[in-house]
Amino acid sequence: MTTRPNFLFLLSDQHRADWLGCSSDLPLKTPHIDGLANKGTQFTHAITPSPICSPARACLATGLDFEHCGVATIHENLAIDKNTYYRSLRNSCYEVVGVGKFDLHKADMDWGLDGKMLLEEYGFTDGIDSEGKGDAIWAYRKEGRPKGPYLKYLEGRGLLEDYVGIYKPESESLLFEAINPLPDDAYCDTWIAQKGLDFLKSFSREEPWHLMINFAGPHDPYDVTESMRQRWEGVNFPSPVANNSDDPEIIQLRQQNYAAMIENIDSQVGRYIELLVERGELENTIIVYSSDHGEMLGDHNRWQKSVWYQ
């Protein structure tokens, strides 16, 4: 077994730091992430370099601050000549793999049906770069066909029209709550997790690896499967801070579904820990759980992100 540490980086999208069991009194059950926090180090004063996906992820990839990373909006790609820590690890003989929503070349709205587009250029040895929730739909509407691996997967299972149907026709807004008609194993974050687990199972135990799992949730729309929704019926959350414009029932639905997405991610984290134990690599693996930015979730009459409220 390699003496150099492995790295498992679990990065969610739009997860508020105060929506975890270990950081709140909310009725959330996140035992696996809480376990990592309790055994490790919590960076409770860390602030995202940008409250927008692409710039925050570009800063993470390059180690540069917002001013110097070269990505100011979601309409710009990270230049492939920028050095990334992924490339530095690959140059140090690490297997560097990632799956899920990278958002490093979001402006293209094209990931390749195999999800391999630009991965090597950004420093990965392998992986699957997949669409975010809204990105998949906007690209599909423009081209009339899947532009990334997740919708291609749904198409292959005959589930594409069911998934597309939860999005309001021609709407550019993701600000809605819905029951996702997909089976649990086809839900976006569960699919991403499984792809990452497949890679982890294939890694040599003799060489170090870095595996990055980019979950699509708990990003809006606030969509969950029927089974994810069941636990939250009748569970109430505290009212948002200074919200006087939204229907209280809608607020509760969105909060409940947001919690369901978080708990689903936590269950996927548990699958990774279990596999690391099976492989005998848990003690030699540095595990990081983080998010690119938070979610207003109704505070100050705002949803989604893009502002600097804490």
**What's residue 2's pLDDT?**
75
Rounded to whole angstroms, the Cα distance separating 20 from 231 reads 16
Number of residues assigned to the chain: 310
> Which alpha helices (DSSP H) does 147-247 contain, by range?
149-156, 160-164, 188-202, 226-230
pLDDT in the model for residue 310: 82
Residue 162 vs residues 106, 154, 171, 285, 307: alpha-carbon distances, Å: 25, 9, 17, 39, 33
**Element containing residue 99 per DSSP (H, E):** strand 95-100
User: Which tokens go with 187?
Assistant: 């839900």
Strand partners, 9: 212, 288
Sign, Cα dihedral of 33, 14, 298, 17 = positive
Phi-psi region of 298 (alpha: psi -120 to 50; beta: other; left: phi over 0): left
For the chain, the helix, strand and coil percentages under 3-state DSSP, each to the nearest 5: 40, 10, 45
Mean pLDDT in consecutive groups of 10 residues from the start of the chain, 310 residues = 92 97 96 97 94 97 97 96 98 98 96 98 98 94 95 98 90 92 98 98 97 98 97 94 96 98 98 98 98 97 93
Phi-psi region of 186 (alpha: psi -120 to 50; beta: other; left: phi over 0): alpha
The three-class DSSP label of residue 224 is strand
Q: What is the pTM of this model?
A: 0.97
Instruction: Report how far apart, in Å, the C-alpha atoms of 307 and of each of 49, 107, 172, 218, 296 are.
Output: 12, 21, 20, 18, 8
What pLDDT is attached to residue 215? 98
**């029927």: which residue's tokens?**
226
At 171 the pLDDT is 81
Give the integer Cα–Cα distance in Å for 69 and 158. Answer: 40
